[in-house]
């Protein structure tokens, strides 16, 4: 399941890729970690991971900003997308209550493919698994850092650094 580093680095990479400055992108992407602070109140992956709840919190803010502070609206929209990216990624890794309270089942979109190297037999499984949503904490270990997450983060940072270097070189040639 995605650890905080992965929840941060993916929206950060996307934001920088679409032209958001790295400092601003980092501040916005950090919001994608917030839903996992639900572990502090022992309700992991329940209401804090619901698209419905997150939208119910964000949409009134967006509507208010549209009238009162339109210059803040873009940041608020990007912040909302960063927040929503969290349950989106989680539901591909484990049961997540993405539609609570409208739907009282936690959803796990499960896909895997394996190939047997000696027979070259390929097996593929795709399933949408459902589990009753409870507000009690699931008895699972939650990774804080994994080697896969560190590898993905380093790779995405290297791509960003390379793109930045190429842009600077192109700018230098034009000057
Ligand atoms: Zn989570």
The pLDDT assigned to 16 comes to: 94
How far apart (Å, rounded) are the C-alpha atoms in residues 93 and 98? 13
Reduced to 3 states (helix: H, G, I; strand: E, B; else coil), residue 62 is helix
Task: Compute, in angstroms, the gap from residue 138 CA to the centroid of ligand 1.
Answer: 12
The pLDDT assigned to 175 comes to: 63
Task: Compute, in angstroms, the gap from residue 18 CA to the centroid of ligand 1.
Answer: 25
The pLDDT assigned to 38 comes to: 85
pLDDT confidence band for 135 (50 / 70 / 90):
low
Task: Compute, in angstroms, the gap from residue 131 CA to the centroid of ligand 1.
Answer: 16
Percentage above 90 pLDDT, the chain:
67
pLDDT score of 9 more than 60: yes
Task: Compute, in angstroms, the gap from residue 93 CA to the centroid of ligand 1.
Answer: 10
Q: Taking Cα atoms as reference points, which of 106, 136, 110, 138 lies closest to residue 125?
A: 110
The tens digit of pLDDT for each residue in 44-73 reads 778 899 999 999 999 999 999 999 999 999
Task: Compute, in angstroms, the gap from residue 71 CA to the centroid of ligand 1.
Answer: 30
The pLDDT assigned to 107 comes to: 93
The tens digit of pLDDT for each residue in 19-42 reads 999 999 999 999 999 999 888 877
Task: Compute, in angstroms, the gap from residue 25 CA to the centroid of ligand 1.
Answer: 20
The pLDDT assigned to 67 comes to: 95
User: In sequence order, what are the beta bridge partners of 105?
Assistant: 132
Cα-Cα end-to-end distance for the chain: 46
The tens digit of pLDDT for each residue in 136-158 reads 555 666 778 888 889 999 999 99
């Amino acid at each position: 399941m995605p650890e905080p580093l992965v929840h941060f680095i993916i929206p950060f990479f996307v934001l920088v890729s679409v032209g958001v400055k790295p400092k601003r992108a980092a501040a916005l992407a950090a919001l994608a970690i917030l839903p996992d602070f639900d572990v502090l109140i022992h309700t992991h992956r329940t209401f804090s991971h619901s698209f419905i709840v997150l939208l119910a919190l964000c949409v009134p803010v967006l509507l208010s900003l549209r009238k009162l502070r339109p210059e803040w609206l873009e940041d608020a929209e990007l912040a909302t997308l960063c927040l929503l990216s969290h349950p989106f990624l989680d539901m591909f890794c484990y049961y997540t209550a993405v539609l609570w309270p409208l739907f009282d089942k936690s959803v796990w979109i499960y896909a895997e493919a394996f190939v047997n190297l000696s027979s070259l037999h390929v097996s593929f499984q795709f399933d949408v698994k459902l589990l009753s949503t409870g507000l009690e904490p699931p008895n699972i270990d939650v990774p804080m850092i994994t080697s896969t997450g560190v590898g993905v983060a380093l790779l995405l940072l290297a791509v960003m650094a390379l793109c930045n270097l190429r842009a600077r070189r192109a700018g230098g040639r034009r000057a």
